[in-house]
Amino acid sequence: MTILSANKVYKSYGNKFNKQEVLKAIDLHIEKGEFVSIMGPSGSGKTTLLNVLSSIDKVSVGSIMIEGAELTTMKEKQLAAFRKQHLGFIFQEYNLLDTLTVKENILLPLTIVKISKKAAQHQFEALAKELGIFEVKDKYPNEISGGQKQRTSAARAFIHEPSIIFADEPTGALDSKSASDLLNKLSDLNNKRKSTIVMVTHDMAAASFSNRVIFIKDGQIYSQLTKGGQTRQQFYQDILKTQGVLGGVHHDH
């Protein structure tokens, strides 16, 4: 079942005298339960694509549908309500509130939905244990490691059981061990909870945790790889090859 579809999406900045086209005719479909990575060279449009798919930014032309709802025609108020209910976000910089404990940060999205205290506690415990941060639940962000902060951020994104989790370079600020821990946990949550994850990354090792990798170049989809029955190591080698070609492709402007 398709959970997200983008059709003929264009995004440009500036005015008619000085226009920069960042996304050009993007067609993209993501199935429920997929873990998809978006990769591409610096300036390729991958973060802009994530931003328009997740409604953080508006498309210039085109259609984006999530769970059958057309995002591009929604007013700001409708979009805000849709985001709260259907979308989860993990950012590179954690975006945790320093004045709240780990537990309070994670429970934040549930404060605006109708859910009993008991159910909220149950959801919190299950997630915090799965992500290995239950023991630090009463600590504040400045008392925990970067890896624990990012797993707290991930728990906050998953807590209200959104339709899609959008992750923007979630391992960008982490050392390789913390990055690997986080990605293993995200992969587990994707498998166990059938959560749909769309992640922008420049890290080939990170991308190898996903089921499919979409490569963007010059604002267009350049190619895609699907993991299928491959091991993570084999998939990593495939990504490496494609990334090598992608880095070596030059278009005349």
Q: What residues have CB less than 8 Å from 178, skipping those under 6 apart?
A: 145, 146, 147, 150, 171
- CA nearest neighbour of 21 among 56, 61, 55: 61
218 DSSP assignment: T
In this prediction, residues 164-186 reach a mean pLDDT of: 93
Only one residue has tokens 């404990």, namely 101
Tell me if residue 55 falls in helix, strand or coil.
coil
pLDDT, tens only, 67-82:
999 999 999 999 999 9
Q: What is the pLDDT of residue 252?
A: 34
Q: Summarize pLDDT for 202-253 with one digit per residue, the tens.
A: 999 999 999 999 999 999 999 999 999 999 999 999 999 998 888 754 443 3
Amino acid at site 2: T
> 172, 91 in Cβ contact below 8 A?
no
- pLDDT attached to residue 42: 86
Question: What are residue 225's DSSP bridge partners?
Answer: 213
Report CA-CA distances (Å) from 105 to 98, 114, 179. Answer: 9, 18, 21
When the pLDDT of each residue in the chain is averaged and rounded to a whole number, the result is 92
